[in-house]
């Protein structure tokens, strides 16, 4: 989960904020994430554990984003536009 201690977040937030200002589209977001993951793999060594860590983290990020951001957005659109499953 992305919930690290608040005092640790400051080590990341400035860099992440700067990077997010130059990402203009989905391809650039994909590139930035891919390079971050690849740098993690290179620094930790290619192994089953590293692969499992990366794939697990990416899945958890996607799941948490959907749970916290996408699902509430979809629910607001459901309320606004009506249910298609009725």
> Pick from 54, 73, 75: which is nearest to 65 by CA?
73
Q: For residue 25, tell me if it sits in a domain.
A: no
Instruction: Give me the pLDDT at residue 86, please.
Output: 86
- Contact by Cβ (8 Å): 4, 66: no
- Contact by Cβ (8 Å): 50, 41: yes
pTM of the model: 0.86
Q: For residue 71, tell me if it sits in a domain.
A: yes
Give the pLDDT band (50/70/90) at residue 46.
very high
Q: For residue 60, tell me if it sits in a domain.
A: yes
pLDDT over threshold 80, residue 6? yes
Q: For residue 64, tell me if it sits in a domain.
A: yes
Average pLDDT over residues 29-56: 98
Instruction: Give me the pLDDT at residue 1, please.
Output: 66
Q: For residue 61, tell me if it sits in a domain.
A: yes
Instruction: Give me the pLDDT at residue 32, please.
Output: 97
pLDDT over threshold 70, residue 20? yes
């Amino acid at each position: 989960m992305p919930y690290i201690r608040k005092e640790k977040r400051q080590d990341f937030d400035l860099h992440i904020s700067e990077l997010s200002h130059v990402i203009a589209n989905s391809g650039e977001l994909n590139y930035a994430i891919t390079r971050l993951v690849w740098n993690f793999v290179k620094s930790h060594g290619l192994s089953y554990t590293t692969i499992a860590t990366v794939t697990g983290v990416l899945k958890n990020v996607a799941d948490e984003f959907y749970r916290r951001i996408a699902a509430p957005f979809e629910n607001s659109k459901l309320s606004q536009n009506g249910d298609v499953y009725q």
